Structure 1
Amino acid sequence: MKDDEANRFGARAVRYLAVGAQAGGFAARLAGGRLLGATRESDAEALARALGGLKGPLMKAAQLIANIPEVLPADYAEALASLQSEAPPMGAAFVRRRMASELGPHWRERFAAFDLQPAAAASLGQVHRARTLEGADVACKLQYPDMASAVEADLAQLDWALALQKRMEPAIDASEAAQEIAERLREELDYRREAKQATLYRAMLAGHEDIRTPAVHEALSTGRLLTLDWLEGEKVLNFVAAPEEERNRIARAIFNAWWAPFAHYGVIHGDPHLGNYAVFRRDGAVGGINLLDYGCIRIFPTAFVGGVVQLYRGLREGRRDQIAEAYRIWGFRGLNDDLIEILTLWARFILGPLLDDRVRTIADGISPGAYGRREAMEVRRLLREKGPVTIPREFVFMDRAAIGLGGAFLHLAARLNFHRLFEDALQDFDLAALAARQGEALAEAGL
């Protein structure tokens, strides 16, 4: 990353002021509401409005925290989860300057065509459609300026917010979860790393005809510009009224795109929301999905993967000792009978569809926005009584993925035998073989 934007103090100071003003206003409202007996719903709405106005990494961090049901009250989680990940796009003149800073003053000569209007805008950057001199259609992901400074400033504010949360709710310690989120956000700033992660996914999913992944155009990529194949596709939400067979085909591809890399390589896509998938057609029919955006990828120690499989099998067989050992492998400490029972309540919700050997929806009669809400409220109530518990960092993206994937399956109203799909992913599961595959794949991708 170039020195002119590498976590500049001035940019951090500006961001601190912006975040501090919003956070201060929310804190004042919260304190006043408590004194005057105002409802917590108004507090939650105020927090969402404050963070939503800021955009950028703090909003993304808030959404990640909101997906850990044990950390926030249900109304706060709902308000934060509703935040949209879209920032105002950079204008054409700004884009020209940004491209020149990445590829040099004659950058335009390196493309046959380049659309200055973004095709998509997100929290850390925006995507432009272009065509290479060789005639390949590509997606150019261009990072917003001063994102390194914004991330560091926002993470400092997140630490402050979680310290306040811990004082108000001492039964739940999210400090390790916050460290995990901080590491992943910093990694997302490095587009060279994302290029390697895209290459990794292209190798891991090479045998899946219903999942397409883009190739990296390294000569047109830098630390803040990532150029990938442009994959034509339609929004997943366009298919919510499609025939059930098509919806199930899409859901099956999404399931395999997430679980196959985890079961075979110990790698997960940490941001499985609907915007990161697009549906492609083959001969006029639904062929599968394009997997998009490789910034938020988590590579797990193989022992953790074994812990997930052990928890699944322990729940299937009713083996309490196996379940408890799995929680220890996951990173939970200070376990006792009460905490094991509480954690198992949540585990049975998360893994329930995988345990149930029948064709079913992911959660009968539940809307996507309410998925997991009732169970999370009960877990939170019990933890207040039986805690304290520290949420281990490895839990963050496993939990986020379960909620994200569940929401996708609910939107599609998919009916699948999730148990059979998971067993297929675990076929011939062996930790030693997984470790060898993981090491080889990471080395080939340069990770």
Structure 2
Amino acid sequence: MKLASLPLGLAGRATVGLGKRVTGLADEILGEQAQRRTAEHVFSVLGQLKGGAMKLGQALSIFEAALPEHLAAPYRQALTKLQNSAPPLPAASVHGVLERQMGADWRDRFSEFDDTPAAAASIGQVHRAIWEDGREVAVKIQYPGAGDALRTDLRHLSRMAPMFKVLQPNFDVKRITVELRERLLEELDYELEADAQRKFADAFRGDEQIRVPEVVHASPEVLITEWVTGTPLATVISEGSEEERDRAGLLLTTLHFSAPKRAGMLHADPHPGNFALADDGRLIVYDFGAAARMPGGMPFQVGRLTKLTLEGKAEEVVEGLRGEGFVPQDLIVDAPAMLEFLRPMLAPLGSEEFRFSREWLRGESTRLTNQKSEAYKFGKQLSFPPSYLLIHRVTMGSIGVLCQLGAKARWRDILEEWLPGFADPGAIEGDHPTA
């Protein structure tokens, strides 16, 4: 495996170097040239994988916004290559997958089929075609052996678990790793993805803000949907006007908070390659392989505790976080210190309007990861419930994209409308219609 070819020392220097550079201490460990070579090598290896490691790379690509500007450029270049690129599958292999999944007469289902892939992702690639009824479609084909590759990559990636245990002693790393592994393996099942996409399409059909392509056909390794295009979000980030970037951020956040209530699901893969802005101003949403089932909507306590933090109700916040598993039962916590720890993260909700920025994200990264900071010492005492893994992944990933966009909006208004418990934190959880 290519991942195994990464020397442990190099991977270690990359991890330490990235963390230290974010906190302003990297010069003690790595020079600029060594850091650049590390970035290029690590992410070039990740980019060649069709499995879990490339998914890790895609996740990391969101967080380049947290890097100091003088270092961000080489990482940005290496990381963004992972968002929409992978070695293409030969046409003969593509045809083989289609025949196994759709039968020997698979060509009869299409009026046209382009053998050249239009896009590539971590475990599959997309081809443009014309369906038998004349509709233009996107045909996503899973790489042969992707399942085995993903499982192997995840075993390699699990070796990073001891590092996280050192960083966060109270985290149940084993349970979190199992949860992450199960969620990633779900992405191998295109029929499961099709079911999620249909639920999103039903929920947002005719919506003025969000568009979800309709599912045309699904089998375990082939997923066919409507071909819907717009300006890729990566292009909006790099070239879009302020108005376009603000709108993209507003719509992405609306999707994040409204989907659990409207579709009973959470789109859990918020990297820029999964979104585009349509000509009519709507956000086009692709790739539903990572989707959290939330039949009751977003957890009530997420909204309640967010609002209580903004209101400065320290004791209630600590009590609520302890009940959810973030504060160990035997840990004595200074309630005002908890507010000091949390409130800077909620700055986007503390004012009428807020513009996300790379500078703000870098400041928060420094505050939370600098081993000399009070926030770092405080956070190290806390725990992390595995049940919140996907919510945290989506929230942090979305914040990374918002900072890349530099988006400004009235973010609090979105939570008031869609997040259970936020508008009325004094309500009883069971009384809320989405609880």
TM-score in terms of structure 2 length = 0.78
The answer to whether 1:376 aligns with 2:368 is yes
Cα deviations by residue, 1:390-431 (Å, 9 ceiling, x for unpaired) = 432233333332333233333433321111222122488885
Alignment-derived partner of residue 191 in structure 1: 190
Cα distance, 1:319 vs. partner? 1.2
Q: State the match for 1:3 in structure 2.
A: none
Find the residue that maps to 2:386 and give its secondary structure. coil
- By how many angstroms is 1:192 displaced? 0.5
Alpha-carbon deviations, 1:342-390, whole Å to 9, x = none? 765564344331232x123124x6277x484223324895576454444
The correspondence for 1:422, drawn from 415, 426, 432, is: 415
SS of corresponding position for 1:366: helix
* CA RMSD, Structure 1 to Structure 2 (Å): 3.8
What are the residue-to-residue correspondences of 1:153-302 with 2, within 5 Å? 153-166=152-165, 170=169, 174-206=173-205, 208-218=207-217, 221-240=218-237, 241-264=239-262, 267-282=265-280, 287-300=281-294, 302=296
CA contact (8 A) 1:26 1:50 kept: no
Q: 2:13 & 2:245 partners in 1: Cα distance?
A: 44
Distance 1:249 1:163 in 2: 41
Deviation at 1:324, TM superposition (A): 1.9
CA–CA separation in structure 2 for the residues paired with 1:343 and 1:145: 49
Question: Paired residue for 2:55?
Answer: 60
Rounded Cα–Cα distance in structure 2 between residues aligned with 1:60 and 1:340: 37
Out of 9, 15, 19, the residue aligned to residue 3 of structure 2 is 19
Q: Distance in 1 between matches of 2:62 and 2:391?
A: 10
Residue 104 of structure 1: how far off its partner (Å): 1.6
Deviation at 1:262, TM superposition (A): 2.9
Identity of aligned residues (%): 27
- Distance in 1 (alpha carbons) for counterparts of 2:315 and 2:62: 28
Residue pair 1:100, 1:107 contacting (<8 A) in 2 also: yes
Q: Tell me the distance in 2 between the aligned counterparts of 1:316 and 1:202.
A: 34
| Range with greater deviation from structure 2 (148-157 or 372-381) | 372-381
Q: 1:316 aligns with which of 305, 310, 319?
A: 310
Whether contact under 8 Å (1:360, 1:416) holds in the other structure is yes
Work out whether residues 233 and 275 of structure 2, in 8 Å CA contact, stay in contact via their aligned partners in 1.
yes
Alignment correspondent of 2:123 = 124
Instruction: Quote how far apart the aligned CAs of 1:184 are.
Output: 1.1
Residues in 1 aligned to 2:31 and 2:180: alpha-carbon distance in whole angstroms: 26
Task: State the distance in 1 between where 2:168 and 2:31 align.
Answer: 15
1:176–1:66 distance in 2 versus 1, CA, 3 Å: farther
Do the aligned partners of residues 310 and 163 (structure 1) sit closer, same or farther apart at CA in structure 2, a change above 3 Å counting? same
Q: What is the number of equivalent residue pairs in this alignment?
A: 402
Rate the CA distance shift 1:272–1:165 in 2: closer, same or farther, 3 A: closer
- Cα pair distance change 1:202/1:27, threshold 3 Å: closer
Distance (Å, rounded) in 2 between the aligned partners of 1:49 and 1:121: 16
Residue matched to 1:105: 104
Aligned residue for 1:409? Answer: 402
CA distance in 2: counterparts of 1:68 and 1:399, whole angstroms: 14
CA spacing shift, 1:433–1:297, aligned 2, 3 Å: farther
After superposition, the Cα gap between the structure-2 partners of 1:140 and 1:350, relative to the gap in structure 1 and judged at 3 Å, is farther
Q: 1:204 to 1:217 in 2, by over 3 A?
A: same
Q: Is the 8 A contact 2:191 2:223 kept in 1?
A: yes
Amino acid of the structure 1 residue aligned with 2:279: R
Which ranges in structure 2 are unaligned for 5 or more consecutive residues?
18-27, 65-70
For the structure 1 residues 58 and 207, does the alpha-carbon distance in structure 2 shift closer, same or farther, using more than 3 Å as the test? same
Match of 1:351 among 346, 354, 375: 346
Structure 1: which 5+ runs fail to align? 1-14, 70-74, 439-447
The whole-number CA distance in structure 2 between the counterparts of 1:239 and 1:312 is 30
CA distance in 1, matches of 2:107, 2:245: 41
Find the residue that maps to 1:281 and give its secondary structure: coil
1:162 deviates by 1.2
CA shift at 1:99, angstroms? 1.3
Taking structure 1 as the reference length, the TM-score comes to 0.76
Shift of 1:82: 2.9
Q: Counterpart of 1:39?
A: 30
Quote how far apart the aligned CAs of 1:152 are.
Answer: 1.6
Q: Could you give the per-residue CA deviations for residues 232-279 of structure 1, whole angstroms, max 9, x where no partner exists?
A: 212134445555444433332222111111355653211112211111
Measure the CA separation in 1 of the matches of 2:130 and 2:337: 53
Give 3-state SS (helix, strand or coil) of 1:217's partner: strand
Structure 1 residues 378 and 27: alpha-carbon distance in aligned structure 2, compared to 1, 3 A threshold: closer
Distance 1:119 1:259, change over 3 A: same
The AA in structure 1 aligned to 2:267 is: H
